[in-house]
Structure formats: C-alpha cells, structure tokens
Amino acid sequence: MNDPAHSLSTLFLDANVLVSAAWKEKAEAAQIWQLDGVRLVTSIYVMAKVQRNLPQIAQIERLRGLMTSVEILLFQELRAPAEAESLPVKDRPVLSAAVEAGANYLITGDKKHFSQWFGKTICGVRIEPPTNLLALFHLRRG
C-alpha cells in the first residue's frame, strides 16, 4: 500500500464527504483539503447527489470554494467490480468510479452501505471514513 506521507495519493470523495465539508464552517471533513500529497477527485454522478443536499447559500458557497481543488471526472461506462454487487444500485457507481479513477482511497461516511469495507481494499481502492483517513495521514506524517 502507498504510504500517504511519501507519495501522491488519489482520494475519491463520496457525496456525504463533500456535503459534510460544506455543511458548516470548519467542519472536520474539510480537513481533508489540508492534507499534503493528495489529489482530490470525485465524479459527476457524485456531484449530482451533493447539489440536492445543500439547502443554504452559505453551504453552496463553501462547496464552490472546496471544489476549486477537486477534479470532477466523467465516466461514460463504468464496469462495477464484483464486490459492488452487494451495494445498493445507487452506491455502485461511487465504488466503480473510484476504481476507474485509479484512486488509492474511497472516502465515504456512508456507514450503512460501506462500513463492512472500512479499512479494506477492493480492486486497489482502500475504503475509509473521513475520520479514519485523517488519523491515518496524520499518524504516517508524524
């Protein structure tokens, strides 16, 4: 596995991470944007989910600021890994996009559907909730 402290890691951000980071000022999830040596990516599919979940203008403005350093990827056809079969249909494109993007990590706070894979690697993508990722990067840096 790549050592986050010594190489560029690609982090695929799920909708709930983007919403959490934009929800309030100084949100814990927004610390992901302060990590060194990371490339932040998401997909157009994820962005469609995000926009439905931010009701306030201030939240939308925070999201716009955060998104200046996130690549939004468009995938024509995603091939879902076999492991994605156990996910609800709406979550399969998230895992598939992370795999297709060549991400090192899929960052998601979706405990209901992804918690069984927290800390595990599927098709080269390690799935972590934001808090675990932050701890992992800070521990390895220090």
Residue 140 has a pLDDT of 57
Per-residue CA distances from 77 to 3, 10, 45, 84, 139 (Å): 30, 21, 12, 15, 37
CA distance 118 to 67: 25
Q: Identify whether the C-beta of residue 29 lies closer than 8 Å to the C-beta of residue 70.
A: no
**142 pLDDT exceeds 60?**
no
> Is pLDDT at 141 greater than 90 in this prediction?
no
pLDDT tens string 31-77: 999 999 999 999 999 999 998 899 999 999 999 999 999 999 997 76
Model confidence pLDDT, tens digit, residues 101-137: 999 999 999 999 998 899 999 999 999 999 999 999 8
Q: Which domains does the chain have, with CATH numbers?
A: 9-141 (3.40.50.1010)
**Between 92-100 and 44-51, two packed helices, what is the crossing angle to 10 degrees?**
140
Average pLDDT on 80-101 reads 85
Distance CA(127)–CA(105), nearest Å, equals 6
Q: Which range among 13-17, 18-22, 79-83, 133-137 shows the weakest confidence by mean pLDDT? A: 79-83
Q: Pick 18 or 78 by higher pLDDT.
A: 18
Q: Tell me which residue of 80, 83, 73, 101 sits closest to 9, measured CA to CA.
A: 101
